[in-house]
Each structure stands twice: as C-alpha cells, then as structure tokens.
Structure 1
Amino acid sequence: MTIIGSEVVARALRQQGVDTFFYIMGGPMMHVELGCMNNGLRGIDVRHEQAGAMAAFAYARLLNRPGVCMAASGPATTNLVTGVAHAWADCTPIVALGGASPDASKGRGAFQEIDQLPMFEPCTKWAARVHSAKRIPELVNRAVREAMGGKPGPVYLDLPGDILYAEVDENALEWPDPWDPSKRSRPAGDPAQIKQVIELLKKAKQPVIISGTGILWSEAAAELKGFVEAAGIPFYTTPQSRGVIPEDHAYCFLTARSTAFRDADLIMVIGTRMNYIIGHAAPPRFNANAKIVRVDIDPDEIAGSPRKLDVGVIGDAKTVLAQLTSGIKGSVTPDTYSGWRDRLRGRNSSKTAEQEEILSNPKTPVHPLRLCKEIRDFMDRDGILCVDGQEILNFGRQAIPTFTAGHRLNSGCFGTMGVGLPFGVGAKVAKPDKQVVVLHGDGSFGLNAMELDTLVRHKLPILVVISLNGGWTADPKKEKPGRDLGYTRFDKMAEALGCYGEFVENPNEIRDALERGKAAVNKGQPALINVKTDWTARATTTAFSNYST
C-alpha cells in the first residue's frame, strides 16, 4: 500500500508522542495538518505564524517536551522565524515544520520559492531539508532528539511540496525508536571537580546560587531545593526560571539581590548561561574577588564562560546537584552560613516593607506597580503568569512572585515583544486546569492581539490584563519618537471577538474587575481587563545595555 509524504509526516509526529501542533492552514502543508488530525493530534490554528511558534514555546516550557508548529511555504514560513529565534535565545525545544516550493523545480522561480533553510540555520540547533519521503521518519526522529538533547533548542525541517505529495510504499518505511525522555543522558560531574566544589563551600562565608532554565529541562527543581536546604545557601534565579523553588522560601531574599551579588564570596551558576541577564557575573555588580563555580550540560558554555571559572563542571543539573547534596553531608549545613542569611534577611525585610508601601499607591492614573500588586494578590499560587511589554514587564519582575516551576513566562533573553498572548494560548493548551493570566503592555498586545480570536474559537479561557499607558514605554519628558499609541479600548475589541471585556481607571476597582473576569473564565469565556495606567511611570531595573527604550 502506498501513502503520500504528508501522511508519513503525520504518523512520524504521532510516533514521537506529539499530541498538539500550532499552525495556519496553507499549501503544501494542508494534507500534513489534516493527516495529523486524523491521527489524533489536536490542531490549534492561530492568526499569525509567529504566534504559532510562540504558543509552541509555552507548550514546551510547561510540559518539558517539544512544542510543534507548522506553516505553509514562503511568507508563511518566514513568519515563523521570530518565534523560532525567540526559542533559540531561550534554549527551548520547538520543532518547526515549514512547507517549501518543490524540490524538483528549485532555481526555476516556482511559486513562493525562496531558500528557507539559511534563514533558520542561525536560530536553530539543527535545520534540514527533506529530499526523500522515505527519510521522513528518520528526520522527524532526529529533529525531536536534537531539540531535546543536551542544551535544548529549536529545530527546523523544510518540507518541499513534491516530497509531501510523493507516494511511498508503506512497507518500505523504517521507523526509528521514538525519543524516550526516561532514557535521556544524565552525565554526572567529574568526582574530582565535585570534591573541589565541596572544598570551596567549606571555605566560603557568603555563597549564593544563581540558577536558570537548565533546572527546568533537567527536571531538577526538587534536587535544587534539596541542595539549597541541605547547605543553607541563599538562591536566586534568572527571570526565565522563576518558581523552581517557591519565592517565599526561607532562603529566598529577592529584594536583597544586589547586596547578595556584590558581597558573595562564592557564586554558583547552575544551569544558566553567563550572559547579559546576570550581568555576565562580572564586577561591579558581582564581587570581583568571589570564587566562581559553574555547572552546565553544554561543554561550550563552560569553555566560553565570560569570567574565569574556579571550577567548571560539565554535567546534568539533576545528577550534579544530587552529587553535591550527598558530598556535603557532615561538613556543610545551614548553620554554616546562618550569619550570611541573617544579614540578607534583614536587608530583605526592610526593603520589602518599603516596597509594599509603594505597591499600594492610591493615585490615579493607576501606577503599574499597583496593578501588579492587585494581580499578585489575586492569582492562584500555582497560576501561570505570562508577562509581555516594556514597563509592565519590569514592574512585574519587581512585584509579582512565582511559586511553581515553569509557571512564569516572559519576553526572555531575546526581549521579544508580542509573546504574551501566544504564550497564554500555549499555556492553556498545555495545562487546561491551571489559571492562566497574561499581563500585557498595550504596545506589545497589539502585535498579536488577534490571538483573542484563537482563544475564543478553541475555547481556551484565560484572563488577559492590559496596562494601558497609551504607548510603547513611559515617556515622562515626552521626548520619544513614535511612542504614543493612544488609549485604545481593547476591552471593546475583546467583546467584539466574543470575550468578556472591562475598562478600569480607578485603582480601587481593579480587584473587583479581576474577579468578574475570573467568573467569566470559570464559565469558559476568555476575559480582558483594560487598565488605564500612568504614562510617566518608568521602571528602574539593572541596565542590560548602554542605551534604553
């Protein structure tokens, strides 16, 4: 019996355990999409291909498995690039499938012909073009393994139309064993290096841990918490990995971060890159005399560290943390660093009280921090928060904690605008029983606002809250070109698309509006609360570059 290449793609995805994909219909991919649905996969058709890639990102982050997106040829596939690049910057495994003009007519000016592969090579771990329908199972299998192996990341498969419609003998196909997460490689750290780290811990007086999404991908949240509690070391996370340990943990001192970094004599960087997000762990933000320990599964990360390492351990975070926890027994305990924690706790307590007063700002227009406080107090403890924008992103980092691993999504290392609503789509598909809240700036919301329609059509009830400050960023001096966008009634737009909508100007009315939105969500209706905020309120955070928006 013969089947076409499109059906082979669908069966290969099913064999790899894929149950959902995000897409927009179009040739030559339509029979792939139909085949996937006929094989039991759920198709979520979005309103822009970049939103499909971003939704796949959120799905992957929340379920620790590849998210899948697909697009038609030419401009449809080029629209995937931004979402794929975002996944590359945040080391997130998505499998992107792009339709392409026929292989046989390459170079002859076929419809939508453009060399798509070179566009994806710089922003993927692996990218390939399929030249034979018989090899589809092999290449889909490799795509999944490449996405999930070692340091995760996106991959891309280019699918020419003539290959997708080519007939192949079903009995001639070879099906590799599917990727099995239980069999992933978990290399241990070199025992000699583990001993070196333990010796540094014994000598240290003021250590800190900085962890990243490597903890999520390694499924090492429990091991990190176990090591932190066994050693008594204060911990901090990158914005992308908040919640790996609940942020109300006794050893979490969020508002004393600057003091901890500046005064630490041992800095342990576990499962995260030493990039601009953590200031490259460089002075003056970090103690110039501190010892540096790094744990990463990627040898290139260790080799390319921007600051000299005292110990660089190549290994899986889950395995290495277990080694360290076992190795410090009897020599390093919470009492070892009690004085250091007391100092940070005192600093944290004084700043927390000061911050709470600021958060309760009663003024009108609403200060974004007051909006963040209302969302903080409203959300479920295990709710999923997606934050996207400029000022509101930074204010949200300061004001809203996270308590569950993987349940915080934001604009990431790439600083991508427009991710919020697509993240909400992917998050609700991945975890339909969890509360999903998207906190959006009004500028960033406009980039993928039509995904409200996706929420309605696919019955994905989430709560969207917009900080409506009338432009792309705060502008207290009115000096930024192209900043002003006006105060759009996005709540009316939401209502027109079938969502519940509400407009709020008084800070004392925010909580009641959130509760009414929640009531709509509980009935299965997406909701949008549009809150007019102060256009002069500028978030002050650590500078990532020598210029700012």
Structure 2
Amino acid sequence: MRVDMEVDGSYLIARTLKEEGVDHLFFLMGGPNYEIINNSEDFGIRAVDFRHEQAASMAAHGYARVTGKPGVTTAASGPGTLNLLTGQYTAWVDCAPMITLGGAGPIEDFGRDGFQEVDQVSIFEPVSKAVMRPTDPARYPEHVSTAFRLATTGRPGPVYIDCNEDVLYGKVEESDAAIPTRAFGRSRAAGDRDLVKHAVKMLSEARSPIIFAGGGVWWSQAHKELQRLVELMGIPFYTSPMSRGLIADDHQMSFPAARSGAFRQADVALVVGTRMNWMMTFGKRIGPDAKVIQIDIDGAELGHNRSIDIGIEGDARAVLQQLYEEAERIGFKSKLKSDWIENLRDADLARRDRVAPLENSDQRPIHPLRLCKDLRDVLDRDSILSVDGNEILHYGRQSMPTYVPGHRLNSGPSGCMGVGLPYAIGAKLAKPDKQVVALHGDGSLGMNIQDFDTAVRHKLPIVIVVSNNEGWTARVEGIRKPGRELGFTRFDKVAESLGGYGELVENPKDLKPAFERALSAGVPAIVNVRTDPTARALSRFVGSKME
C-alpha cells in the first residue's frame, strides 16, 4: 500500500517505467524532462546519457532487438525530441517496440509561439504505432502502461508520448493517480486448424521447399519452435538480415551462400513473421511458380505485394507449434536426404570456394572479405555483431555468421546508416558479458562517432572495426559518384583522444592480432582497417541508381 504524498507527473512516469520492468533509460539531458531522469534513477533504473539524441534512440532500438523488451528514450523539447525521430523511424520500419518520451512545452502556451513550440505529436504519428499527449498528471501511469501494451502486442512498434512541461510538473496526491491495468497472463493467437493441415500437406508434397523467417519469429520468441520444425521436416531455412541467428548459421539445414538460388528454385515457401517488402523485391525473390504459405500476426500482411496460396493469421510461436504437431501426427517424411538438400549443399560449398581466395588474400589495401574472415575467426560463438555501411554491410552479410538469436543487428529494412555504433552500445548494455562488435564502413561511422565518447564514459568495452575505403560505396572507374570521396579518416586517433583504444591496420597479417588486442583492451576500441576502395559487393538495391 502506497503512503499518500504529493507527487508530480515525472515521478509517476518513472514509477510506472519501473513497474513495467524497465532497467535502462536512454537520454540526452534537457528540460522539461530532468525529473523523469532523476526519478528513474531513484527507482533503480540506469540512465545512460548520450552526445546526440539520434544515437540515444538508435541505442534504445538496439537494446530492444537484443533483449526483446521495449527500449525507452527521452529528450528535451523541440529540437531535442525531433532528433529522436530517425531512431523512431528505424524502429517503426523494423517493427521494434520502443517507448519515446518527448519533452514538450506547456500546453497552456500552445498557439502563442512558446519556447520550442512544435506539434511533435503530428510529426511522430506517421512513424509510431500510437501517439499520446496526456493532459492530466494523474493519468500518466495509465498512459505509460498502455504504451507498453501497444508497443509489445500484435505487430510490435514504437509508441510516442508527448510530455508537456505543465503536466510533468503538475502535482497530485499519489493515491489519486490512476492505477494501470495489465494482463498478467496472455494467450497467443493460434492459426486456423484446417489451414495448418493444408499447409503441412503442401510442404510434405513439395520437392524443393524453403522456410523464410523474420522478425515476427524473434519478437514471439519462437526460435526454438522454428528449429524443431526445420529439423522435423528437413527443410532448409533462411532469415531476414536482422533475424540471423534464429537458428545457428552452421546448422545442417543452413545454406546461406545458396540463398538466391534457393529462393528462385523453391516450389513451396513457408514465410513466417516477415513482410514481402522491398528486401524481398515485393515478393518476387521467390520464384513466380512457387506456392507460398504466409504466417503473420497482422492479417493485413497476408497477400500484401504478392498473392499467396495459404495465409495463416496468428502468433508465430503458436502457429509453428501447430505445424510441428500436425507434421508429427501425419508422420511427415523428412526432406533431409533429398536431392534438393544435396543441390543446395553443393551450391553453398561452391560459392564459398569462389570467395575463399579473397578471404585469404594478402592484397594491400586489404580486401573487405579478408577483414571479415579474420574477424570471424577471433570472435566468440555467442558474440553480438552490429553491421553498418554499404559495401561492408554486404560483405558482412555474405561472410559473417551468427549463432545465437537476437545477436545480429544491421541497418535493417530502413537501410539507415549510422546505426552500428549506437546499436552496439545498446547491445552491450543489454548483455554486458558478451563480446559486442560493430563492423562499420567509414562513412556510416562518421555519422555518430561522437557517441564513442558515450561508450567510454559508461565503461562499455565495445569494439568498432572500420572497413575504411575512404568514402561512400566503392570507387568505380568511369562512374561519377558525387560526394563519394571522404579521404582516409584516422578513427583510431579519434578513439585514443576520447579515452579508448585505437589501432591502425594496413597489412592483412596484422588483422587478427589487432582484433585480439582490441577485444582484450577492457575499454572501447576502434580498429581502423585500410581496405580496398574499389572492392565492390555484388548486391543490388531496388530503386538505387548508385550500384
């Protein structure tokens, strides 16, 4: 029973954050949100301050991706809150749960050209699952708790709460504050039983099936159910880039180097918890004659951008369990010994053999694949990898495996650059006992390099490995790329000046020793690797004229 006392809105927000299980708050100081932060710290929440609000928001997104819990961020009114917008957008496109507490001027000053007055609610609305502007401090517990429920149920997403100064500092008796309502036990939405049976029958009759899993499997914490189904059916699996590690990349049903051919040649594709968006070429990456079974928590996604044969609306974990039970019931014959699996295995090995000379190349400047190979060789199996850039993003996708669910981060469906370092900070806060490495391009690292200082101040020994090719994308003879050339930035010196460890690598034989020194430095580190500016990853982007 609470002792009756007079409190303000900031206190009630912080108290509710604690009740919702929040243990970290990502922020940059400023009014009117000072007391949200002070009260949060008083409740035992670790408040982590950043150099730039964008990095704070991206770190909260990275934290959410690793933990499966909403990341929470707050910033000062006007420009401070607007600087959170890019991070909010990346979380929105990634369907990641976040709570954004935007500082705002007094409601009583609206329409009077008040200090930093801007309609933040309308600005955040297109990139939020929901937006709120509480007007009564007593109702903050209700609003904040509702925000968590909205952010984490159905298709997850970020929720924005406008925190106006006069409401934050409004006084109420604590006993008069709203008591939030919560569902302490919640069922999962199962799929239609007849459609589940139809789907299993279709998969059993397929000659060349694949399973393609995305973020919905991660947010549903369905990776164990996914692996059980893959192993029972003997069907090869692929994941969206941000979902690498749902099943270990070295699993016997994993053939990542044969990905493109598998999608083109599949006769049945089971698509679980991911969208037919631009990354899937709007569904066209799967061959036109393939039958498609799609599972999604959001019924509106079923058949979006591509017609499908079976659409099952439901929670990924619940439906994967249903598929497993039905497959067991009918005595599903595993595809493990099929020609399809053998062909994919051969294609995977052939592709690996083709890139092996580059992975072992002694050329100078260093080839990015040699960088990736040597980094891969020194990392722990359960390390967390954040990849950000253009060429290095694609080289990393081709050559850097992940073995643990939630341990792979990258620019995701937004294609946003600058996320790598902030994601690494969020990941290290989430799992301080794991190796956390950000594999960066030099262009993308420059976007949030100031928050290397945040890692130093908060004693977060992350390692940044820079594939420094002196600019944006690869240098291609005969093609004009305005703004491409950045010169060679000494990020290793930046690390040293901010109190971290820095090392420059120009000879491939020095890569592994440098990585090992950085990983054991005990402080945030940057290994700045001079890589070949002409090395060009063979990936295409829909809508891009650059590559």
Report the TM-score, using the length of structure 1 for normalisation.
0.97
Q: Distance in 1 between matches of 2:272 and 2:500?
A: 42
Counterpart AA for 1:410: N
* Change over 3 Å in CA distance of 1:326–1:109 after alignment to 2: same
User: Of 114, 121, 142, which residue of structure 2 is paired with 1:117?
Assistant: 121
Q: How does 1:332-481 map to 2 (within 5 A)?
A: 332-335=332-335, 338-477=338-477, 479-481=480-482
Q: Who is 2:531 aligned against?
A: 533
> Is residue 2:106 matched to residue 1:102?
yes
Structure 1 residue ranges without an equivalent (≥5): none
Counterpart AA for 1:503: L
Shift of 1:548: 2.9
Identity %: 49
Q: How does 1:164-183 map to 2 (within 5 A)?
A: 164-178=168-182, 180=184, 183=185
The answer (yes or no) to whether the contact 1:232–1:336 under 8 Å persists in 2 is yes
Q: Who is 1:3 aligned against?
A: 7
What secondary structure does 1:413 align onto? helix
Q: Distance in 1 between matches of 2:181 and 2:134?
A: 19
Q: Distance in 2 between matches of 1:511 and 1:415?
A: 29
Paired residues in the alignment total 541
Q: CA offsets per residue over residues 195-227 of structure 1, 9 Å max, x none?
A: 110221122111111100111101000000000
The answer (yes or no) to whether the contact 1:201–1:332 under 8 Å persists in 2 is no
* Change over 3 Å in CA distance of 1:410–1:335 after alignment to 2: closer
Q: How does 1:298-317 map to 2 (within 5 A)?
A: 298-302=298-302, 304-317=303-316
What secondary structure does 1:334 align onto? coil
Q: CA offsets per residue over residues 367-417 of structure 1, 9 Å max, x none?
A: 111111111111111100001111111111011111111100001111111
> Is residue 2:35 matched to residue 1:31?
yes
Shift of 1:18: 0.8
Q: Who is 1:544 aligned against?
A: 542
The answer (yes or no) to whether the contact 2:358–2:367 under 8 Å persists in 1 is no
Shift of 1:546: 4.9
Shift of 1:281: 2.4
Q: CA offsets per residue over residues 240-285 of structure 1, 9 Å max, x none?
A: 1001000111111111112211111101100101111122222xx4
The answer (yes or no) to whether the contact 1:231–1:334 under 8 Å persists in 2 is yes
Q: Distance in 2 between matches of 1:463 and 1:177?
A: 42
The answer (yes or no) to whether the contact 1:387–1:409 under 8 Å persists in 2 is yes
Q: How does 1:200-349 map to 2 (within 5 A)?
A: 200-282=202-284, 285-302=285-302, 304-329=303-328, 330-335=330-335, 338-349=338-349
Q: How does 1:15-30 map to 2 (within 5 A)?
A: 15-30=19-34
Q: CA offsets per residue over residues 322-347 of structure 1, 9 Å max, x none?
A: 11111112432224762211111111
* Larger deviation, residues 196-205 vs 20-29: 196-205
Counterpart AA for 1:25: M
* Larger deviation, residues 5-14 vs 332-341: 332-341
Shift of 1:470: 0.7
User: Of 69, 74, 81, which residue of structure 2 is paired with 1:70?
Assistant: 74
What secondary structure does 1:516 align onto? helix
Counterpart AA for 2:502: G
Q: Distance in 2 between matches of 1:543 and 1:482?
A: 19
Q: Distance in 2 between matches of 1:89 and 1:179?
A: 27
Q: Who is 2:516 aligned against?
A: 515
What secondary structure does 2:405 align onto? coil
Q: Distance in 1 between matches of 2:481 and 2:82?
A: 30
Q: Who is 1:80 aligned against?
A: 84
Q: Distance in 1 between matches of 2:336 and 2:372?
A: 37
User: Of 93, 98, 103, which residue of structure 1 is paired with 2:97?
Assistant: 93
The answer (yes or no) to whether the contact 2:269–2:290 under 8 Å persists in 1 is yes
Counterpart AA for 1:313: I
**Segments of 4+ moved more than 6 angstroms:** none
Q: Distance in 1 between matches of 2:261 and 2:439?
A: 29
Shift of 1:235: 0.6
Counterpart AA for 1:441: G
What secondary structure does 1:450 align onto? helix
Counterpart AA for 1:276: W
Q: CA offsets per residue over residues 138-173 of structure 1, 9 Å max, x none?
A: 100111001001110111000100001110111111
Report the TM-score, using the length of structure 2 for normalisation.
0.97
What secondary structure does 2:276 align onto? coil
Q: Distance in 1 between matches of 2:182 and 2:511?
A: 49
* Change over 3 Å in CA distance of 1:184–1:151 after alignment to 2: farther
What secondary structure does 1:449 align onto? helix
The answer (yes or no) to whether the contact 2:235–2:335 under 8 Å persists in 1 is no
Question: RMSD over aligned Cα, in angstroms?
Answer: 1.3
Q: Distance in 2 between matches of 1:286 and 1:317?
A: 21
Counterpart AA for 2:508: P
* Larger deviation, residues 65-74 vs 333-342: 333-342
The answer (yes or no) to whether the contact 1:14–1:39 under 8 Å persists in 2 is yes
Counterpart AA for 2:307: K
The answer (yes or no) to whether the contact 1:19–1:42 under 8 Å persists in 2 is yes
Q: Distance in 1 between matches of 2:158 and 2:186?
A: 17
> Is residue 2:130 matched to residue 1:126?
yes
The answer (yes or no) to whether the contact 1:144–1:179 under 8 Å persists in 2 is no
* Change over 3 Å in CA distance of 1:491–1:336 after alignment to 2: closer
Q: Distance in 1 between matches of 2:143 and 2:335?
A: 53
* Change over 3 Å in CA distance of 1:532–1:336 after alignment to 2: closer
Structure 2 residue ranges without an equivalent (≥5): none
Q: Distance in 2 between matches of 1:539 and 1:179?
A: 48
Q: CA offsets per residue over residues 85-142 of structure 1, 9 Å max, x none?
A: 0000100001000010101111111111111001110001001111110110010011
The answer (yes or no) to whether the contact 2:214–2:272 under 8 Å persists in 1 is yes
Q: Distance in 1 between matches of 2:363 and 2:97?
A: 43
The answer (yes or no) to whether the contact 1:206–1:337 under 8 Å persists in 2 is no
Counterpart AA for 2:106: P
Q: Distance in 1 between matches of 2:413 and 2:169?
A: 39
The answer (yes or no) to whether the contact 1:246–1:403 under 8 Å persists in 2 is yes
* Change over 3 Å in CA distance of 1:178–1:19 after alignment to 2: farther
Shift of 1:179: 6.2
Q: Distance in 2 between matches of 1:337 and 1:274?
A: 30
Q: Distance in 2 between matches of 1:335 and 1:413?
A: 31
* Change over 3 Å in CA distance of 1:233–1:406 after alignment to 2: same
Counterpart AA for 2:236: P
Shift of 1:542: 3.8
The answer (yes or no) to whether the contact 2:28–2:51 under 8 Å persists in 1 is yes
